Structure 1
Amino acid sequence: MSNAPSLLFINQHYAPDLASTAQHLRDLAEHLAADGFEVHVFCSRGHYLSGEMDVPAEETRNGVHVHRVRTTAFGRESTLGRIADYASFFLQVLWWLLTGPRYDAVVSLTTPPLLPVAMAMAHRLRGQPYGIWSMDLHPEAEQALGMVESDGPLGSVLQGLADWSYRRAAFTVDLGPHMKARIRAKGVPPDRVHTIPVWSKKEEVHPIPSNDNPLMEDLGLADKFVVMYSGNAGLGHRFDEVLRAANHFDGHPDIRFLFVGSGPRREEIEAFAERRELSNLTYLDYFPRDQIKYSLSLADVHLLTLRRSFSGIAVPGKLYGILAAGRPVLMVGPEASDSADTIRRHEVGAVIDPAHYKRNGTATEAVIETITDLYQHPERRRTLGERGREVFLEHFEQETCCDQWAALLRQEVGAP
C-alpha cells in the first residue's frame, strides 16, 4: 500500500450496478481517490435485482481498487433468496477482514443488514478500526415490517448485536436528525455520530424543459401533467393514498401517473392498476444513469412516501434527485421524519401525514386536493421547483456532501 491513508468501503453492491447504495458509494470512493486517499471497495458481483454482473474480480475504476467476490445471486424476488445472498456475502466479508490486508479504516454500509457486525467482530479479533455509513437501520427495519418480533428471542439477539456494532465503531455517519436520535439511543456517544446526507450531482441531474426532453414524445407524455414516483417501491413505503388518487384521476384528460424503477411492491401496484383497469398509470423499468436527468424532468410533481414506523430508520434518497431536477415534491408519510423536515423547512413541496386525518379516506382526499392545486397553478410549481434546485445546490450536491466526508476521514485517519 502507498503512504496515503488506506480506506476500505464494504457494501454488497457497487458500480456499474444501479442500486442507490452502489451509485452513492462510487461517487464518494472516486471523490476520495481524487482527493489523495488510497480507496478500496469490497463488494459482490451480484446485481441489485437478480443475477450476476459480467465484471472482473479485481479492477481499478477511476482510481478506486475494486474487489468483487462471487456470492449467491437469487436477487430480491424471494425472502429466502435474499437471505442466502446476504449470508454468502457476509461470510466472505468476515473472512477478508480477518485474513486480508489491514487498512487505516474500514467503512461499512448497511447492505446486507447487520453488515456492521462483521466489522465489530474484526475489530474485536484483529483490532481493525471501522466506521459505519448508516444508510438505514437493521433490525429496526425488519421489526417495523413485523418480520422480527422486537421483544422476541431472535429480535433481542439481533438488536443486541446491531447496537454492539454501533457502539464499537470509531464513527457513524447518519442521514438526518431522526436517524441520529435512534443511533444515539443505542448508547453511541454524540461525538461519534455525524450527519451527512446523500446527494445528487448538479451536472448529472438538472431541470430539463419539456420541449428539450426526448422522453416526453417517446412516452406519449407531451402536454400531460405527470405525477411521478421514481426509485425503489420498497416495503418501507406506503402507496394506498397514491393509488386511490390515481384511481380518482382516471379519465382526466391531462393527469398521468408514472412509476419508474422496481422493488418488492411493484407487483402490488401493477396489480391494483390492472384490477381497476387504470388507463392513466404506467410502470417502467429503471432508466440508465445517463438518462436520469431526462427521466426525473418528466414529472410536474414527484411523489415520496414512507411508512410511519420507518421514521428515523430510512431516509429516502430520492428526495435529493427531485430537488436537483427542480420539481416540487409531495410526500405522504410522517411529519416527524427527516424527509418531511427537509421539505417543510425549505418549503419545496407538501407533506401529508395520514395520521392527522381521523376519517378514513381523508388523507387520500388531501393528496387529490394537493395534486389538483399544483395542476391548476403552474407558477406555484415553478416557484417550488426553483427553490428546490437552490436548496439542492447549497446543501445536497455531491461535492458539498463528499467534501464533508473527506473532512471527517481526515479527522479520523489523517490527511492524504
Structure 2
Amino acid sequence: MHILFLTDNFPPEGNAPATRTYEHAIRWVNAGHKVTVITCAPNFPEGKIFEGFKNSWYQTHDLDGINVIRVKTYITANEGFVKRILDYMSFMVTGFFAGLFQKKPDVIVATSPQFFCACAGWALSAVRRKPFVFELRDIWPASITAVGAMKESFAIRMLEKIELFLYRRADSIVSVTHAFKKELIERGINGEKIDVVLNGVDLSKYEPTKTKDNSLAEQYDLEGKFVVGYVGTHGMAHGLEHIVDVAESLESYDDIRVVFAGGGAARQKVVDLVREKNLSNVVLIERQPKEMMPKVWSLCDVSLVPLVNSDLFRTVIPSKIFECMGMGIPTVMSVPEGEATAIIRETNSGLVVESENVEQITDAVLKLYSDKELYQKIRQCSIESAPKFSRDIMAADMVSIFQKQNVG
C-alpha cells in the first residue's frame, strides 16, 4: 500500500504531531508499505528554518525509508492569528500541488491541528479519486478561541463551516481521543466512520532510567537535585505563568529545581517572569533535537503537564504523558477534568490537581518529593502501564483503518 501523508510538522521538528507521524510512518515502512510524507521546511515553533534546510519550492530526501517531500510555505512563528493562517494556507496550496505528482497513492491522509492541511488532503483525494483519511488531533478552530487568540467572529464561523465540510467529506476520521469522536457525533458526523487511535510512546527510545544523563545534569547543575520539569512546546494553552509561580513557591527548598525545556510562543514570557522574580531555582533549557528528548526527560523526577482552565481542554490528551510512562516519571497533571485525567487515574501514573491551581500543583510536587514510597509506587505503575500505549499497537491500528478503505 502507498500511503500519501500530508502534515506541516515533521522531524527534525520534535512536537507531538511531528513525532506521531514519524513514529507511525517508520513502522508502516517496516511492515512493507510505501510512505510519502509531504511537509514543509522544519521551523516550528520559533518560525526559523532549521540549520541545513531551505524554504524551497520542492525538495526530496529519504528519512529512514520514508520518502519526504518538502515544499515552500510562508513561514512565521507560532503566534499571531493572521500570520499563522497565511502559513497554513500556503502549505495547503503547495502541499496540494506536490501531491499531484506522487505516483499511485492508495490512500491520502492529512492531519490537523489546523485543518487547511486537511483541505489539501481532501482536494487531492477528490482529484485523484482516492480515499481521504482525516487524522483529527485537535478541535480547530475552537482551540483558537479557547486560548484567547481570537474571539467569536465571522471568520471563526466560516472556519467552523469548513471544519464540518471536511468531517463530512472524509471517508474515514482517525481521532486521537474518544472525546473528539463523541463531540463529532454530537455535531452530526457519522460515528461509524470515526476510529480512535490514541497517542503513544516508542518504547525502544523511552525506557525507564534511574539516573540523570551525566553531561546534561552537569551542564545545568542538576546533579543530586529533585527536578520538576515542564518539557515541550511553550504555548498559550499551557498557562506557564502559573508554573513560574509554582517555582517561586518552591524556592525555599534547596534541592528542588524547576526546569522549563522547549520553545514556543510563550517561551519569552516565561524567561521574562523568571528574571522579574529573580528565581534561582529555575533552569531554562532551549528547545532540543528530538533525538535528545529521552536524555532531557531523564533529568526529571516529576513531569508537569498543565493546560489552562477551558472546557475545550477536557477533550485533550497531552502526548507527553505516554513518554513519561515509558520512562517511569510520575506526572503532576493540572488540566480540566476529562479523558487525560481519567488516564492518569486509571493507570495511577501521577497525581491530578485543578487546572491553574498553583497551591495544589505545589502540594502535589512536595508530596512526591517527601513521600518516597508513594513516588516509587507511582513510578512502577507508570512503567507497567506504558506497553498499553505502545506506538507499535497504534501504528498497526491505523494501517487497519487505511485498509478498510479497500486499498492496497
Please state whether the residue corresponding to 1:339 is helix, strand or coil.
helix
Alignment of 1:66-105 (within 5 A): 66-76=68-78, 78-97=80-99, 101=103, 103-105=105-107
2:288 maps to 1:294: no
What is the CA distance between 1:103 and its match in structure 2? 2.4
Counterpart position of 2:206: 205
CA distance in 2, matches of 1:239, 1:289: 22
Of 42-51 and 161-170, deviating more is 42-51
Counterpart position of 1:358: none
In structure 2, relative to structure 1, the CA distance for the partners of 1:81 and 1:157 (3 Å cut) is closer
CA distance in 1, matches of 2:208, 2:101: 48
Given that 2:245 and 2:358 are in contact with CA atoms closer than 8 Å, whether structure 1 keeps it comes out as yes
CA distance in 1, matches of 2:212, 2:385: 25
How many residues were matched structurally?
Answer: 401
Counterpart position of 1:52: 49
Alignment deviations for residues 20-51 of structure 1 (CA, whole Å, 9 cap, x no partner): 32222111112112212221111112421323
In structure 2, relative to structure 1, the CA distance for the partners of 1:239 and 1:74 (3 Å cut) is closer
Given that 2:314 and 2:337 are in contact with CA atoms closer than 8 Å, whether structure 1 keeps it comes out as no
Counterpart position of 2:404: 411
Alignment of 1:234-383 (within 5 A): 234-309=235-310, 310-311=312-313, 314-336=316-338, 338-354=339-355, 363-383=357-377
Read off the aligned partner of 1:390 and give its amino acid letter. E
RMSD: 2.2
Given that 2:5 and 2:109 are in contact with CA atoms closer than 8 Å, whether structure 1 keeps it comes out as yes
Read off the aligned partner of 1:86 and give its amino acid letter. Y
What is the CA distance between 1:251 and its match in structure 2? 3.0
Please state whether the residue corresponding to 1:143 is helix, strand or coil.
helix
Read off the aligned partner of 1:273 and give its amino acid letter. V
Given that 1:141 and 1:313 are in contact with CA atoms closer than 8 Å, whether structure 2 keeps it comes out as no
In structure 2, relative to structure 1, the CA distance for the partners of 1:211 and 1:331 (3 Å cut) is closer
CA distance in 2, matches of 1:414, 1:74: 37
CA distance in 2, matches of 1:403, 1:126: 25
2:394 maps to 1:396: no
Counterpart position of 1:30: 26
Alignment of 1:125-136 (within 5 A): 127-136=129-138
What is the CA distance between 1:123 and its match in structure 2? 4.3
CA distance in 2, matches of 1:353, 1:279: 26
What is the CA distance between 1:179 and its match in structure 2? 1.9
Please state whether the residue corresponding to 1:27 is helix, strand or coil.
helix
CA distance in 2, matches of 1:82, 1:212: 36
What is the CA distance between 1:399 and its match in structure 2? 1.2
Structure 1 unaligned segments of length 5 or more: list them. Answer: 356-362
What is the CA distance between 1:277 and its match in structure 2? 0.7
CA distance in 2, matches of 1:195, 1:347: 22
Of 43-52 and 380-389, deviating more is 43-52
Given that 1:10 and 1:109 are in contact with CA atoms closer than 8 Å, whether structure 2 keeps it comes out as yes
Q: Percent identity over the alignment?
A: 22
Alignment deviations for residues 83-111 of structure 1 (CA, whole Å, 9 cap, x no partner): 33222111112334567655221110115
TM-score, normalised with respect to structure 1: 0.89
What is the CA distance between 1:124 and its match in structure 2? 4.7
Please state whether the residue corresponding to 2:14 is helix, strand or coil.
coil
CA distance in 1, matches of 2:380, 2:203: 14
Alignment deviations for residues 373-396 of structure 1 (CA, whole Å, 9 cap, x no partner): 111112211211111111111x21
